[in-house]
Structure 1
Amino acid sequence: MEIGQDDHIHLLVTAPPKISVTNIVRVLKGISARQLFLRFPELKSRYWKVKNRHLWSPGYFAESIGTTNQDAVAKYIDDQREKEKQLPE
């Protein structure tokens, strides 16, 4: 996992084909939001208790790496950190 530009994360997930991407994302968002709310209770007042605000955006981007080497994808994710450091704030 790599957290980028203060507003998104990159994940490399391995899962069997019978588990849908939608379910994986739903579980990851749900568990991580719950853990963050438990660890940082002040987030609840910023997100959860305010109508129509969510910790995570409703969308996501997912891509299958197919036959691409998993190490190459992991390197790509790591390289994003360096590229994002070079972006103007």
Structure 2
Amino acid sequence: KHLGEVFRRLASQKESRILEGHLMPDHVHMLISIPPKYAVSQVIGYIKGKSAIHLARVYGEKKQSFVGQHFWARGYFVSTVGRDETMIREYIRHQEQEDQRVEQMNLWQ
């Protein structure tokens, strides 16, 4: 919950809204509404950068400097959403169960 609130606050600072989100152990799925005046890369870069700083401050070693360390991978995947918004929301909500199902299938191969 805490990190979700951080993402929402950061998105709002770029006049954007996180409509749906799900945190996974090694990645995040988010449906974000971004106004046309902002480039997608600008908003995503802002959220990634500021959230990494927040996580380093809250959970990192206090005696350690986090300069030069990376929390997020360099890239990200973006797709526009139109008529299929409902499907995208369902995908995000059920991503954890889907990942577990695929993992189980891979055990038998």
Aligned to 2:22: 2
Which consecutive segments of 4 or more residues in structure 1 shift more than 6 A?
none
Aligned to 1:30: 49
**1:3 and 1:10 in contact (8 A); partners too:** yes
Using CA pairs below 8 Å that are at least 6 residues apart, which structure has the higher relative contact order? 1
Q: Which of residues 72, 82, 85 in structure 1 aligns to 2:100?
A: 85
Amino acid at match of 1:78: R
Aligned residues: 84
Aligned to 1:58: 74
Q: SS of the counterpart of 1:58?
A: coil
Distance 1:55 1:67, change over 3 A: same
Q: If the length of structure 2 is used for normalisation, what is the TM-score?
A: 0.64
Q: SS of the counterpart of 1:25?
A: helix
Identity of aligned residues (%): 29
Distance, in Å, in 2 between the alignment partners of 1:44 and 1:29 is 23
Aligned to 2:16: none
Question: Which structure 1 segments of 5+ residues have no match?
Answer: none
Distance, in Å, in 2 between the alignment partners of 1:56 and 1:44 is 21
Q: If the length of structure 1 is used for normalisation, what is the TM-score?
A: 0.76
More strand by proportion, 1 or 2?
Answer: 2
The two structures, once aligned, show a CA RMSD in angstroms of 2.5
Aligned to 1:71: 86
